[in-house]
Structure formats: structure tokens, C-alpha cells
């Protein structure tokens, strides 16, 4: 039987030698990506931009998918080896247009970095009626990966990297009401559900795709200062979570725990390029290593601190992963046949 990560069977740290403080430049040192092609969604801001820079400097041709072309051109103008394509991850036709263009070019795809994401948004729905965080943070990943499958297979050694989050601790996937049609909308619960879905997808994709030399992973980049992810947040939410004091100032202990953008991009770059992962896939990583699996009983002590690190078992559940794959095909109208 070939190993898979169902129920977190492979969630054991490797001892990579890197830490939470390691930067993207440090983890890619000595790795040459000349001749490799990468797609990075949302690769023009925050940790996506840092990921793009790092991969391009290592020799890869990086195709950045961005919603705002003007902003992307401005942010990427000094980086060589970069192509920019206008894609909105909430728009199925936008994803299809790019994928058709890429597939028709005949190029292989060595790295697909599903980085784009939104957070803290009020209840919004896309044109299909799908809740916006689920649509952007997960279903867009599923749709894009499915459409680019032949190019990934053609690479004969590709990796798909889903930038997930510790936020998956906020919620399991709700199969009964994924779009908050019959329950009260809570933005962090919706975010958590979308990230749990991203973990389940990476695990199931790896299990189905590894025979074609395509491996898949999910990861938590860390809590990072200076990104745009919190631009829609209500300061009152940050106060409730203990990030801000009563005067609206960030608490010193919170500030001290934040990663820089180069540190935040490191786990993405490590996951995409490290030879330590050549024979393992379907795992969830954090701080440049495979994360620890959390026990279902929170009273059981582990090195990982619940709600601060580690991966929840429900986001690596076999039945949920298979069920989600089928539901994703239904919700997107995209059949993802791996053959």
C-alpha cells in the first residue's frame, strides 16, 4: 500500500534545520530553478510578492495571476522572469481563460502556488451564490488546479502548494450548509472552513496525483505583519481576539510574535522547492517543516499549542476529503479526473 496522509499518518516533523525565523532566501539557498515554470496566484502583494521574487531570483519563470493589473505591474516591474495575467479567483470564466491560454502554449507547469486569499470580509457571494471566502480561498484553487492538470502532469515532477492557515482551527467543513444559507454568518468561521477545505484538497490531490509525479501540500505561513489580508477587518474584531488594546493599539506581545514578509513567505518557498519533500506529500506544513498533528482530545499535551500551531485531524480526514472532492466538482461544474 502506498503511503498517504489520511488521518494525518505522515504528519511528523522532518527536522529540516529551519525555524519560524528563517527567510525565503535562506530556505531556497543552493536550489536552482532555471528552466522551471511557476504560477503564483496573488503573487503581486504580501507574501505572494515575496514568493514571486524568491522563485524568480532562483531562475524560475514566474507567472503571476492578479486581479489588478496596474497594481501588479507596478509591484513587479523590477523583477525579471515574470509574466502577469489578469485573473480573478472568484470568476470561473477568468480562471478558464487563463488556463486555456497556458495549456495551449504547450508549456509544462512545475510549481502551482495557490496563494491568493481573502479574510475578514462580510457576507458576500459570487455570481453562483457561493460564499466569497469559500469561493476565493478554496474553490478557485480546485478549479485552477483542475484546469492546469495536463501541464502539471507534463512537468514530470510538479508540486501544488496551497497556502492555507492556522485559521483552519476555526472550523471544520460544514457539508450541510457550506454557503451559510441556513446559519448565521461569522467571518472567521467562513475563513476557517475555506482553509480546512484547502488542507483536505491538498491531501486528496496528492493521493490521486502522486502516480503522475505530482505532489501536493498545504501550509500555514505564520502571522505576518505588513500584508493586506487584514484590510477588511473591523478593529473591534481585533480587540475581541486580543490583538489590540482598548485604545486600538497592537499589543507588544502580538507585535513581537509577528513574522516579517520574508519569514512569512519562507514556508511556501520551502514547500515548493525543498528536496526533503521529494518522497512525501499530502502534508500540512508550518515554520518550514511538517507540522505536528493535534490530538482530538485537547487535554492531551503535545509540543504544538492548540490554536497557536499544529494541524487539526478533521482537516486530514479521508472521508471528508473524498466527499469534498465530489462536492467541489458539483459546486464548480468542473470534473477533475486524474488520469
Which residues are known catalytic residues? 191
Q: Give the cell for residue 9.
A: 499518518
- Cβ neighbors of 82 (< 8 A, separation 6 or more) are 52, 56, 61, 62, 63, 64, 76
Straight-line distance from the first to the last Cα atom of the chain, in angstroms, rounded to the nearest whole number: 19
Instruction: Measure the CA–CA gap between 189 and 289, rounded to whole angstroms.
Output: 26
Chain Cα centroid distance, residue 172: 17
**By CB neighbour count within 10 A (0-12 exposed, 13-18 middle, 19+ buried), where does 28 fall?**
buried
Of 213, 212, 217, the residue nearest 202 (C-alpha): 217
Q: Give the cell for residue 234.
A: 473591523
Amino acid at each position: 500500500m502506498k503511503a498517504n496522509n489520511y488521518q494525518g499518518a505522515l504528519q511528523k516533523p522532518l527536522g529540516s534545520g529551519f525555524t519560524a525565523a528563517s527567510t525565503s532566501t535562506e530556505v531556497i539557498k543552493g536550489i536552482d530553478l532555471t528552466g522551471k515554470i511557476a504560477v503564483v496566484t496573488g503573487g503581486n502583494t504580501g507574501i505572494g510578492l515575496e514568493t514571486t521574487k524568491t522563485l524568480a531570483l532562483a531562475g524560475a519563470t514566474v507567472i503571476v495571476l492578479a486581479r489588478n493589473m496596474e497594481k501588479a505591474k507596478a509591484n513587479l516591474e523590477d523583477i525579471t522572469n515574470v509574466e502577469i495575467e489578469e485573473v480573478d479567483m472568484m470568476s470561473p470564466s477568468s480562471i478558464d481563460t487563463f488556463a486555456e491560454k497556458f495549456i495551449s502554449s504547450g508549456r509544462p507547469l512545475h510549481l502551482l502556488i495557490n496563494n491568493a486569499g481573502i479574510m475578514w470580509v462580510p457576507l458576500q457571494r459570487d455570481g453562483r451564490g457561493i460564499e466569497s471566502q469559500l469561493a476565493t480561498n478554496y474553490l478557485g484553487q480546485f478549479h485552477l488546479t483542475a484546469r492546469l492538470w495536463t501541464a502539471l502532469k507534463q512537468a514530470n515532477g510538479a508540486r501544488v502548494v496551497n497556502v492555507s492557515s492556522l485559521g483552519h482551527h476555526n472550523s471544520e467543513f460544514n457539508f450541510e450548509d457550506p454557503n451559510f444559507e441556513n446559519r448565521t454568518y461569522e467571518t472567521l468561521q467562513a475563513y476557517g472552513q475555506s482553509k480546512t477545505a484547502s488542507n483536505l484538497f491538498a491531501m486528496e490531490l496528492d493521493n490521486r496525483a502522486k502516480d503522475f509525479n505530482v505532489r501536493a501540500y498545504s501550509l500555514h505561513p505564520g502571522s505576518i505583519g505588513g500584508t493586506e489580508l487584514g484590510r477588511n477587518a473591523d478593529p473591534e474584531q481585533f480587540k475581541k481576539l486580543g490583538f489590540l488594546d482598548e485604545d486600538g493599539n497592537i499589543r507588544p506581545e502580538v507585535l513581537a510574535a509577528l513574522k516579517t514578509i520574508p519569514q512569512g513567505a519562507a514556508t511556501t518557498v520551502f514547500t515548493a522547492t525543498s528536496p526533503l519533500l521529494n518522497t512525501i506529500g499530502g502534508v500540512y506544513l508550518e515554520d518550514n517543516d511538517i507540522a505536528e498533528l493535534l490530538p482530538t482530545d485537547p487535554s492531551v499535551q503535545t509540543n504544538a499549542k492548540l490554536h497557536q500551531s499544529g494541524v487539526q485531524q478533521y482537516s486530514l480526514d479521508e472521508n471528508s476529503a473524498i466527499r469534498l472532492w465530489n462536492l467541489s466538482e458539483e459546486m464548480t461544474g468542473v470534473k477533475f479526473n486524474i488520469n
